[in-house]
Amino acid sequence: MSITLPVQKNDYIEVDFIDLTHDGAGVAKVDGYPLFVANALPGEKAKIKVTKVNKGYGFGRLIEVIEKSQYRVDAPCPIYKECGGCQLQHLSYEGQMVAKEKQVREVLTRIGKLENVKVHPVLGMEEPWRYRNKAQVPIGDQEGGLIGGFYQQRTHQIIDMKTCLIQQEKNDEVVQIVKEVCNRFGVRAYDEAKHKGTLRHIMVRYGLVTKEVMVVLVARTSDLPNKNKIVMEIVEKVGGLKSVILNVNAKKTNVIMGDESEVLWGEEVIYDYIGEIKFAISSRSFYQVNPDQTKVLYGKALEYADLRGEETVIDAYCGIGTISLFLAQKARKVYGVEIVPEAIEDARRNAELNGIVNAEFAVGEAETVIPRWYESGVQADVLVVDPPRKGCDEALLRTIIEMKPKKVVYVSCNPATLARDLRFLEDGGYKTVEVQPVDMFPQTMHCEAVAKIILK
């Protein structure tokens, strides 16, 4: 029996938009059938062309906005519609705050079945542009010269870019210099179809407080033509430069970095601060890309932990020790665990750098290491989790319920998995008191949040 859909491909129709998807497309419904349309906003009436229909939902293209949202603005970036880096430049920052708060509220209710949790207004940025301290730019060839920018949405076509409005201006400047220098010395871009050519990506890391710069050339081979001349010219032209690194990625993959790195000039790391804490950042370190808002996020986590100096704290998914070291300033003892060995090396180095002696770090899966600590007599008063987008492993959530720390602080980069995990903890005897969304990535749909959870 064939299902008759209320719209067909290539139909031109008028619709009212009621919501945004998690990747920033407008949502309209025709007789209950959802249509997703890029660049449309809730509260708008528009004419669209239906471009694709599936059994349960379809896609359309915005033809004309008939009634505009009060939050609609002109996107300031000239390549906004081609580039896949941002999704919300056509929505005012006030509108972005409204959308992100709504997103967090709705998933807590829909996925987490949490009715009475206090969700605070989003903590946004005073200046929601030029915040990213790390640029990773794919490199291609065009008419004999190197180009670098972002991939066009849903393609591997590189849009050449001179400036990116969410990058630190220093990053833009350095990427341009490196691109021009490599071009002049005859470096060719990597061709992923033929698996030939050399330069795959240019990465720049910038210390917001220290003003230190690291340049990473990601290449298919360590045999970079005119390597020494290129390095010396980069050194001459880039102010604040502390490090030039060659990373070799010979694999047929879309993973950016390879396993092998060589310092071509300067240091292996640059340094930066979040609040009072100093961090050593290598080419491979996971370091938050928006340090200003990271300080806000971790400040909120610290407030929810409410440490008095006597507590033992466990930080699951501790990374390079960012939250652990914040907590260690106020706790008696902090234990951090992380599956990536290099991150734990960084965490130990960062503890030493700051003279912090009450933080201990272990490599492994949180759900394996934490029970081991528990068996050896470690009893956490507060447990902090900051998992990847897929959320906490169920075995870890079971461990938390078994250990019964008085307080859990959940730092999340994905409201949907946060809601799912909060439901699990609620069913295991915990109560979610409040949730604070924090905008770490203005102009995109991403929203971080911190949840305060107590043992009932």
What pLDDT digit, counting tens, does each position of 381-392 carry?
A: 999 999 999 999
**Run of H or E residues at 14:** strand 12-20
Task: Give residue-wise pLDDT tens across range 147-206.
Answer: 998 888 777 788 889 999 999 999 999 999 999 999 999 999 999 889 999 999 999 999
Residue 369 zone, left/alpha/beta (φ > 0; ψ -120 to 50; rest): alpha
Task: Give residue-wise pLDDT tens across range 216-245.
Answer: 999 999 999 899 999 999 999 999 999 999
- Which residue ranges does the chain devote to CATH 3.40.50.150? 98-126+290-455
Whole-model pTM?
Answer: 0.93
The arithmetic mean of pLDDT across residues 123-147, rounded, is 94
Q: Tell me how far apart the alpha carbons of residues 40 and 195 are, in angstroms, rounded to a whole number.
A: 39
Q: Tell me how far apart the alpha carbons of residues 147 and 159 are, in angstroms, rounded to a whole number.
A: 8
Whether residue 78 has pLDDT greater than 70 = yes
Whether residue 333 has pLDDT greater than 80 = yes
The arithmetic mean of pLDDT across residues 267-293, rounded, is 95
Both tokens assigned to 254: 């879309």
- Phi, psi torsion values for 183, nearest 5 degrees: -60, -45
210 and 183 Cβ atoms separated by less than 8 Å: no
Whether residue 83 has pLDDT greater than 90 = no
Active site residue 413: yes
The percentage of the chain sitting over the pLDDT mark of 90, rounded to a whole number, equals: 91
What superfamily does domain 98-126+290-455 belong to in CATH? Vaccinia Virus protein VP39 (3.40.50.150)
Looking at every residue in the chain, the average pLDDT score rounds to 95
User: What class does CATH assign to 134-274?
Assistant: mainly beta
For residue 55, the model assigns a pLDDT of 93
Q: Which member of 318, 392, 413, 447 is catalytic?
A: 413
- Which residue ranges does the chain devote to CATH 2.40.50.1070? 134-274
For residue 17, the model assigns a pLDDT of 98
Crossing angle for the helix pair 394-403 and 366-375, to the nearest 10 degrees: 20
Task: Give residue-wise pLDDT tens across range 89-131.
Answer: 999 999 999 999 999 999 999 999 998 899 999 999 999 999 9
Q: Tell me how far apart the alpha carbons of residues 288 and 137 are, in angstroms, rounded to a whole number.
A: 18
DSSP notation for 239-275: TTEEEEEEEE--SSSS-S--SEEEEEEE-S-EEEEET
Q: Tell me how far apart the alpha carbons of residues 337 and 367 are, in angstroms, rounded to a whole number.
A: 10
Both tokens assigned to 225: 């033509």
- Residue 309 DSSP code: S
- Which residue ranges does the chain devote to CATH 2.40.50.140? 12-67
Whether residue 1 has pLDDT greater than 60 = no
User: What class does CATH assign to 12-67?
Assistant: mainly beta
